[in-house]
Amino acid sequence: MRKKQAQILIVDDQEEILFSAKMILKKHFETIFTENNPKKIISILAENEINVVLLDMNYRIGFEDGREGIHWLKEIKTLSPNTIVILMTAFGKIETAVESIKIGAFDYVLKPWNNEKLLETIDKAVVESRKNSKKTAVENDGKSEKKYFVGTSAKIKQAYSIAEKVARTDANVLILGENGTGKYVFAEFIQQHSERKNQPFVHVDLGSLSDNLFESELFGYAKGAFTDAKIDTPGRFENAANGTIFLDEIGNIPLHLQAKLLHVLQTKTVTRLGESKPRPLNVRVIAATNSDIKTEVKNKTFREDLLYRINTMEINLPSLRERKDDIVPMANFILEQIAQKYNQENWHFEENAAPYLERYPWKGNVREMENKIERALILAENNTISVLDLDILDFEEIQENDENPLSEMEKGAIEKALFKHNGNISKTAEELGLSRAALYRRIEKYDLKN
């Protein structure tokens, strides 16, 4: 039997699992890597074109919530978008595995696995990986770059203007803004428009990093530095060598750890846990936070000297509430991007969707818009997304004014929902986010009674 050309990485902290999986897969696929330390994933991906990662969800004794697996799933999708990730989980943890599919996992397999099912799942993943690679190759041949939506509001245009200027330098940048305003996108934009664009871009979510993992994750460790330190391991700063490290949610770092980070930034060196010799660093630092960092400095919960170190240049990202004119064009841009992600074309919003998009509060900003549009695209039919598909109806805020053009839209949406549920008041009210009493009032107002 001829082996298929594919590179598979198996990551699990149990040697017997690694051995068993390798024995099965090496009969069918050209190259099989095994690794018991998930922190080595980054270097393996950097050195090899991995098609599929078979990833365990838990690595530390006593921690069975799957958070580590989800963390490494996100890292893999950031570092190597074409790599397909399949999660391994015990039967009782299926719910977590299913949830991870929503954020980028291809599928999951249960331990102990069925050999035939395992091979079938990996075979499909290899095919998907090749599709991704072909798509990337076409884009690269066309010399296409990632598209960024700018918009017309003065605040966002100013932010992009600053980003373009600072990208040409090595200055540290602090990006401020509410949750979901696109701080990661801006950090990536700066990297892509800098001299470091072909070097690593390493994203660190400091908000999800526990105190006891802070130093080992960021600075690395030597073999024997602590109980589970079986090999010398570089930290995130070293992994970002000659590139950019993006320190997300930097406002969440406890004071006692801020001093350690400050030392690294001041000296431009990093010392692994268990070592005494500092290693030189050539890394561009971009930090971000949704907190009022200057108030934190006044309250002595964030070091002033660290703030000075990270914000050579400061960029403030406006919320969607501050850029109303950009909402509909942005929604169309996001819809186009998501449609491309699913290899689909000719998607559009219903004609009456624009006023609802503009008046919806978007408390989660761009991230919320992306999530709602992606969900709507999955649920909608005939390549048309309605207000109901978007789940942005908020009738309690609509003024009781017949001259309001939204009244006609409200009436139409209620009629549509009533028809869908065959006049069932409870189901219609639930879909529209109304109480039964509120729905009855509107039925009377619009004379929708049978």
Domains 4-141 and 154-318 fall in the same CATH topology = yes
Residues 6+ apart with CB under 8 A from 266: 309
Give Cβ neighbours of residue 206 (< 8 Å, ≥ 6 apart). 247, 248, 249, 250, 252, 253
Q: Are 102 and 69 in contact (CB under 8 A)?
A: no
The share of the chain scoring above pLDDT 90, in percent, equals: 44
pTM (2 d.p.): 0.61
Helix, strand, or coil here: 70?
Answer: helix
Task: Write phi, then psi, for 410 (nearest 5 degrees).
Answer: -60, -45
pLDDT at 313 over 90: yes
Read off the pLDDT of residues 161-191 as tens digits, 9 standing for 90 and up: 999 999 999 999 999 999 999 999 999 999 9
State how far the Cα of 126 lies from the Cα of 137, in Å rounded to an integer: 16
Work out whether strand 220-221 and strand 233-234 pair parallel, antiparallel, or are unpaired.
Answer: antiparallel
Contacts 24+ apart (CB under 8 A), 415-424: 415/448, 416/388, 417/388, 418/443, 418/448, 423/450
φ and ψ at 307, to 5 degrees?
-60, -45
Length of the chain: 450
Q: How does pLDDT run across 350-377, given as a tens digit for each residue? A: 888 888 898 899 999 999 999 999 988 8
The CATH class of the 322-445 domain is mainly alpha
Three-class SS of residue 357?
helix
100 pLDDT tier (thresholds 50, 70, 90):
confident
Exposure string over 202-211, b if 16+ CB within 10 A, otherwise e: bbbebeebee
Angstrom distances, CA of residue 132 to CA of 41, 341, 440: 20, 10, 50
β-pair partners for 40: none
Q: d(Cα 217, Cα 226) in Å, to the nearest integer? A: 13
User: Under CATH, what is the fold of the domain 154-318?
Assistant: Rossmann fold (3.40.50)
The domain segmentation of the chain, as residue ranges, is 4-141, 154-318, 322-445
- Residues 87-99: tens digit of each pLDDT: 887 755 556 666 6
What the block records as the tokens of 31 is 């190259």
The 10s digit of each residue's pLDDT in 379-408 is 887 889 988 888 887 544 444 444 455 566
DSSP assignment of 119-147 equals: HHHHHHHHHHHHHHHHHHHHHHHTT----
CATH architecture of the region 4-141: 3-Layer(aba) Sandwich (3.40)
pLDDT at position 400: 42
In the β-sheet with 201-205, what is the strand arrangement from edge to edge? Answer: 201-205, 244-248, 284-289, 173-176, 313-316
Closest residue by Cα to residue 47 from 200, 218, 222, 237: 200
313-316/220-221 β-pairing: unpaired
